[in-house]
Amino acid sequence: MSVPFGLQPTVKIVQAGDPVLRSSTPEWDDSLERTELEALVELMRSTMHAAPGVGLAAPQIGLSLRLAVLEDLWPIDQETAAAKEREPLEFMAAIDPRYEAVGARTATHFEGCLSVRGYTASVERPADILASWTDLEGVRHERELHGWQARIFQHETDHLNGMLYLDKAEPRSLCTDENFARLWSYEEPETVREGLGF
């Protein structure tokens, strides 16, 4: 019998200002036993879902490990999905994730972060990347990711290098979540840029 999602264990998510979020994580050293690693991944996954979010890196729960979990299966309307190039992302536990841009195409969208509660800002990122990571079986993977999947992967990998999305954001775009929802969530990017002056 599976445990109802709401009853699964979660941990507190570290917020901006904590030094663990600003430190680059060390190289992965396989120091965790397999059962410990699996338990940690499940804890991170349930914490991510409960938040709710689409990604969570180990530093966000206070651990300086090169590990992140990603999953984006939340329902979304077709118009928003098309605008963000959003395709569902099946659950992924990524050890030592890395990425590099493929081509010069970029995309600019608002991002939030579970470690920067209450705010969102516009971030320009490569729209197409070559992602690489090791899975829980120790197998290294490479895969091209595009659109919103690429954005999630970059956002979580950046956490492992001591970066927050705010480091790459357009400062004038910073909004409270409430103001973004009230004023800008359905506007064209050009309208948002004009309205906020960036």
Inter-residue contact 135 to 34 (CB < 8 Å): no
Inter-residue contact 115 to 14 (CB < 8 Å): yes
Respond yes or no: is residue 100 known to be catalytic. Answer: no
Residue 156 phi, psi (nearest 5): -70, -40
Residue 175 annotated as binding site: no
Residue 187: count other Cβ atoms within 10 Å of its Cβ. Answer: 13
46 three-class SS: helix
Annotated catalytic residue within 90, 100, 156, 170 = 156
Residue 140 phi, psi (nearest 5): -85, 135
Residue 113 annotated as binding site: yes
Report d(CA 6, CA 30) in Å as an integer: 31
Report d(CA 66, CA 58) in Å as an integer: 7
The CA-based angle 6-8-13, given to 5 degrees, is 95
**Alpha carbon distances (Å) from 158 to 1, 14, 38, 136:** 37, 15, 23, 20
> Where in the sequence numbering do the catalytic residues fall?
156
Binding site, annotated residues: 113, 155, 159
Binding site, annotated residues for Fe cation: 113, 155, 159
